[in-house]
Amino acid sequence: MINPFFKNCGPIYINKLLQLSDIISNEKFSDIIVTDIKDLVTADKENITFFHSKKYEEFALKTKAAFCVTTSNLSHVLPKHCKAIIVDNVLVATATITKIFYPGAVSDGFDINVKDINETTFKDKIRFGKNILLGQNVNIGKNCSIGHNSIIESNVIIGDNCSIGSNVIIRNTIIKNNVSILDCCVIGKKGFGFFPNNEKNIRYPHIGIVIIEDNSEIGCGSTIDRGSLSNTIIGKNTFLDNQVHIAHNNKIGNNCVIAGQVGFAGSSTLGNNVIIGGQAGISGHLKIGNNIQIGGGSGVLKDIPDNSKVMGYPAKDIKKFIKDNR
């Protein structure tokens, strides 16, 4: 369920795909069809993937992908069945290939096809305020409510017993049952993913979605970006305070409590039963374990093992932090 809302323009013959991507390969592959681009973990034998950092070596070793965009110094890690596509800049090449498969995911403008809720079948099924707009491919469950001036844009599924506040914008999102989205949240927009360039920065498509599991709450003014090549997930019974930012590809576990103004960079994984104090910052591509407590104002720059309590910048064991700051 990585990209259920974006149209895949595949399958594409690998040689044609490389040609369209302006990738020159010394090896001419036979007429092999590639159906999709996926990350190292979810790719299968008909997919192309990418491998750009030694940090993901354990996933590269096990990938089932037929092809992998990578660099010459990383290509030896790949299993024999996975053919390396050698490039200078893996992420730029990956962005180009993703645009070929999913051209509709590049633009993130407003939904021109929205309708006033009074013009839809939902007018008799849910409670709603004034000036509510609904896009295409929207499904809303039983006993739900939507506040004033909210826009549920295209590609949204909302479960039963959900409350959507006022001035909320949601797109490309699956919301499970008994979820509360408070006022002024923006959920499912593309993430802050681009490649800096002196003339024009290069954006890459975000073909993932946001998934918010049962019994969760998203506080006022919070923003949750959809994933790039994987999904952004908020676990069951997890509560976000006001003005929390969850960047693309983050996986937040179950029963977590995240206080106000906490910010997550992209692609980190948070375990279950994690408590984070206000104004803490979590860097990208980290693994935060289960049963963690992170003090307010902390800066987390490294992985944190299970059952830890940390605080400070950079975040360290709380006993050491207290000792160092007496």
Q: DSSP for 268-290?
A: -EE-SS-EE-TT-EE-SS-EE-S
Closest listed residue to residue 97, CA positions, set 196, 197, 18, 34: 18
State pTM to two decimals: 0.92
Question: Would you please indicate which residues are annotated as catalytic (active-site) residues?
Answer: 248
- Burial letters 158-168, b for 16+ CB under 10 A, else e: bbebbbbbbbb
Unique residue bearing structure tokens 């895949």: 8
Estimate the share of the chain in helix, then strand, then coil, as percent rounded to the nearest 5. Answer: 15, 25, 60
How many other CB atoms sit within 10 Å of the CB of residue 48?
27
- Whole-angstrom distance, CA of residue 157 vs CA of residue 152: 10
How many other CB atoms sit within 10 Å of the CB of residue 31?
8
- Whole-angstrom distance, CA of residue 236 vs CA of residue 212: 8
CA distances in angstroms from 22 to 48, 97, 112, listed in the order given: 16, 10, 33
The reported pLDDT for the residue numbered 223 is 98
- Whole-angstrom distance, CA of residue 178 vs CA of residue 180: 7
| Tens-binned pLDDT, residue by residue, of the chain (326 aa) | 556 788 899 999 999 999 999 998 777 787 899 999 999 999 999 999 999 999 899 999 999 999 999 999 999 999 999 999 999 999 889 999 999 999 888 778 888 889 999 999 999 999 999 999 999 999 999 999 999 999 999 999 999 999 999 999 999 999 999 999 999 999 999 999 887 777 888 888 899 999 999 999 999 999 999 998 889 999 999 999 999 999 999 999 999 999 999 999 999 999 999 999 999 999 999 999 999 999 999 999 999 999 999 999 999 999 998 888 88
